[in-house]
Every structure is written in structure tokens, then in C-alpha cells.
Structure 1
Amino acid sequence: MFHFLGIGAQKSATTWLFEQLNTHPEIHFPNGKEQHFWNHQPDDAAIARYLNQFTHPTQREGEITPAYAFLPPAIITQIYQIAPHLRLFYLIRNPIDRAWSAALMALNRAEMTITEASDQWFIDHFHSQGSLLRGDYELALRHWQSIFPPEQLLLLRYECVVQEPRALLIRLAHHLAIDAEHFITLPAAQLHRKSFSGNGAPLRPTLRRVLETLYRPRITALDDYLGYPTGW
């Protein structure tokens, strides 16, 4: 049964989360982690084929695609119409750190070393529409929570993956209505295993100023929307 959808965010430990969930006997990912099915508005026949993969009678089934965070309301409405019961979760990270990590990933894909990339190369990446959308958590929350009941979307923090991964997984287990005992008994080595991590290059001070200018107003706006400080 189509039960859950992870909607993001990119470079916020979604691969780690997928791997942890995939160890749970009540969870099933029929087509792996990222399907990107909803990236383009599908027709009825395509939706029927998509839903037909979620057929297990007892397991909670779903997928995690970070690009879903910035889907337009029209597509979110389509998702709600076929699965109004969906449990959603959104794993977010300090948008300054997220943007830097994403830029490093793009650098690697371009087969460049960090010494080959100028500040301007990074600045252009930071200002790209894709990067800015992926760091606009408030907009994503507004879109999804205007269509799905807010209580169906669980907001998770990257910091918890680093500092208290077991507590994060237990919280998610309750949200998905699966047995939390599985995560209580997972070995610590499993919980702290890194997945698809970047090269860890430090953020250049010149670039931090650029990212602070870009994201400080968004962080303030997100704090206001959530009603509590994120501490970023």
C-alpha cells in the first residue's frame, strides 16, 4: 500500500534515511529510493502504473525523492487526490551548509577539483534556480501543508542525524505507524554509518558571506513560519 513519501531535501542525509528505513521489516521501497515520478505532471495511465507497484498487503510502501520538496501545488494536489492518507516527511539542513554541499557535488559531477573552481563558479551555482529552490524550506512547507493536513508532514533535522539518529528514527517510526523497537535495537555502528557523504571541503570565507546574504532572510522567515528558532 502506498503509505509514505519522503520529499527532501537534497544533501540532507536522505540516502542515510532510506538505508535505515530499508532495514525495517514493515517498510518496503518497491523501486528503490528515488523514482522522480512526480517531477513532471503525469497522466492517469502513468499514475495507475505508479500505484500498481505499491501492492504489498501489510508493508508500508513508498519512496524518497528530494526533488519533491519544490513540486508545484498542482502536482501536490494530484498526489493528494490519489493518496490523501499519505504520511510525509521532510529532512532539512542548514541551507547554507546544504548549498555548499550541493555545489561540491556538482563540482564532482563536472569532473573538476576544488582548486579549479573559482569563487564565481560557486556563486553562479548558489544563484541557480535549482539550488535556491532546494533551500527554500518555507515555500516547500507552505505548498505541501496547504494541500495535505499539516499533521501528516513530519519535519526532521539533519543535525539530529548527526547527534541523535536513534531518536530521529524512533520519531519517524511513530509518524509512519511502524514498530519503533526495530530502531531501538539497531547497533550504534549502523546508525552512524555515513551514506553518500561529500568530500568535507571547508566553506571558503568569501563564499560564506555570499551564502549568508542569500539565506539569512530565508532562515528568519522560516523561523517565523515555524514559530520557533531553527538555530541556524
Structure 2
Amino acid sequence: MTDDPGTFLLGVGAQKGGTSWLHDYLQASPQFDPGFRKEYHVFDGLDLPHSSYVRERVLRQAERARLAREAGEPYDEGRLLRASFYTDPGAYPDYFAGLLRAPGTRLTADVTPSYALLGEERLASVRRSFEERGVRCVAVFLMRDPVDRVWSSVRMSYDRGRGTEGRTAEERTLEVHRQDYHRLRSRYDLTLDRLDAAFAPGLVHLELYERLFRPEAVEELCGFLCIDAHPAQVGKRVNATPTDAVLPEATVREVAATYAPVYDAVARRFPDVDLERLWPSARFR
């Protein structure tokens, strides 16, 4: 083992905030090993009531894999391993720390946007579990204009034909943003406070989706992650949704009014950014 134990990246969102692009970019680095998936959905499955179905599904899949293994049939080892992350507190950090022991690997990650809703103690316990193994644990939080984030999520639902029956996209946007589960995904101010409490200064990297796709932003991120920067496809979008539709101003105004604390918190974190230019909905705070 080298003197540098490597870095574990906990990607905490935001949903529709560029996390898929980030993971796609990191995968092109020979110094990055993400393991067997991008989103492991461990701690949201353990802690968040609305995500309990994830844990139940993973455990069912693991049971089927176990039975197949005992019967000498083909099975997915990843399903068994993922289930162990729910049942054995040490399995999760042990797995990622093990990836970092491979020659040349300096970074691994779990990029699960739902982690933006985790509590302070859970975030701190994840950090401690890696520090106990000598691994540097950091968090990355990508934030997008809250109205655009909700609107992008709704457009994706329409694109996939899920939960949209009999409602216009504008009606669905208002419906979604009024639900606690969806609204809290855009309460970046709350996530920022929890990250501050759980991680020491210098262990959290913040970026805005609207500034992410620039060489200088990528280089800064790679420096934070202690890997070598490599060329980025800054014009590429991953899991992008159609952008030809535009929300009526009245809808934008109603959704934006909910997020005044978010705009204020982000403006404080990025004092050199013209937030109303970058996030047009901020004019309605």
C-alpha cells in the first residue's frame, strides 16, 4: 500500500444537477474505480422513509442471487455485495477502501443524489468510517437553479411516460414542487448546513451546474479529488432532457418563491457570482 491511501467521494447531488456527467467524466480517468455502479443507494435506503423500497428491492434481489448460487446457477455477485452494505456496517467502507488498494487507483465514489437528504450524523458517520481506514473522505455537491432542476425532473418524467397522466407539464411541476420529498431535494441551504456540520473545511467541494461544463471547473474539481485532470467533453450532457419547452412565468414565480433561503445561501457561498444571471429564477426570491 502506498503512502497515499486515496480518496472516497460521496456525491450528494443534486438530482438533475450534473451528477451523471460528473461520474461519466471520472470514469474516463485511469485513476478512478467506481466499483460496480454509480449510485449505490445505501444510506437513503437505510434512513429515508420514501426510499425504503430500495432496500427491500436490493434484499430481495440478493436472496434470489443466494438461492441461485446454492443451486449452482448463474448469479450476480454485485447483488450479494450490495445487500451486505445494508446488513454489515463495515462492508461498505471496506469495499471501497479495497478498491483503492489497486495499483494506480486514487479515487472511488458513490454518487447518489438522494444523499442530499441525509442527516448530519449519517454524513459524519460515513466520513468517520473511511477515516478509520486511513482513507480521505470528501463530499461533492452540485447545485442547479431550483426551478430548472424541478422542471428538468418533470420533463424527464414526461419523456419516460411516468406519473403524468391527465396533467400538463406545468401542472405537474407545481404538483411536484409542493411535495416534501421533491421540494427538499432543492433545499440546498439545508444540505449545505448538514455538510458543514459533518465535514471539516476543505473536505467539501461545491459547484453550480451552470458553471460545471468548463475546463477550469473540471481542473479545480480534479485538484480537489487528487487525481490528474483529463480532457472533458464540455458540450456533452448525460441523461439530458429536452429543453424546447418553457415554463410560464407565473409557474416560475410560484416555484421560486419557495426557495428564497436557497438563493440567499448560495449567493453567500458564491459571492463573486451574479446569481440572477446564472439562475434567472432568483429574481423572484
The code of the aligned residue for 1:99 comes to V
State yes or no: 1:195 paired with 2:202.
no
Q: Indicate the residue corresponding to 1:171 in structure 2.
A: 220
Give aligned-pair identity as a percent: 25
Deviations 1:22-81 (A, max 9, x none): 000101100221111111149884332222322131412112111111201231132122
- Please tell me whether the aligned partners of residues 164 and 172 of structure 2 are also in contact (alpha carbons under 8 angstroms): no
The TM-score normalised by the length of structure 2 is: 0.70
Q: Counterparts of 1:107-122 in structure 2 under 5 Å?
A: 107-111=158-162, 116-117=167-168, 119-122=170-173
Q: What is the deviation of 1:110?
A: 4.3
Deviation sequence 1:140-165 (CA, Å, 0-9, x none): 01101112103100001111234x2x
The amino acid of 1:61's aligned partner reads T
* CA-based RMSD: 2.5
Decide whether the 8 Å contact of 1:9 with 1:90 is kept in 2: yes
Does structure 2 conserve the Cα–Cα contact (< 8 Å) formed by 1:2 and 1:51? no
Contact 2:189 2:261 in 1 (8 A): no
Q: Distance in 2 between matches of 1:139 and 1:111?
A: 28
Alpha carbons 1:33, 1:64 under 8 Å: kept = yes
Q: Which residue among 64, 79, 96 is the counterpart of 2:111?
A: 64
Question: How does 1:44-193 map onto structure 2 within 5 Å?
Answer: 45-54=87-96, 55-56=98-99, 57=101, 58=103, 59=105, 60-84=107-131, 85-111=136-162, 116-117=167-168, 119-162=170-213, 164=214, 166-180=215-229, 183=230, 186=231, 190-193=233-236
* Paired residue type of 1:222: V
Letter of the 2:90 partner, please give it. A
CA distance in 2, matches of 1:50, 1:138: 28
8 A Cα contact 2:17 2:143, kept in partner: yes
Gaps of at least 5 residues in structure 2 are 1-5, 48-83, 280-285
SS of 1:63's equivalent? strand
Listed as ranges, the gaps of 5+ residues in structure 1 are none
Matched AA of 1:152: L
1:72 is matched by which residue type in structure 2?
A: G
Deviation at 1:179, TM superposition (A): 1.4
Q: Distance in 1 between matches of 2:219 and 2:22?
A: 12
User: Aligned partners of 1:43, 1:28: CA distance in 2, in Å?
Assistant: 18
8 Å CA contact retained: 2:189, 2:265: yes
Matches of 1:158 and 1:138, distance apart in 2: 16
Q: Call closer, same or farther: CA 1:2–1:154 in 2, change over 3 Å.
A: closer
Q: Could you say what secondary structure the match of 2:262 adopts? A: helix
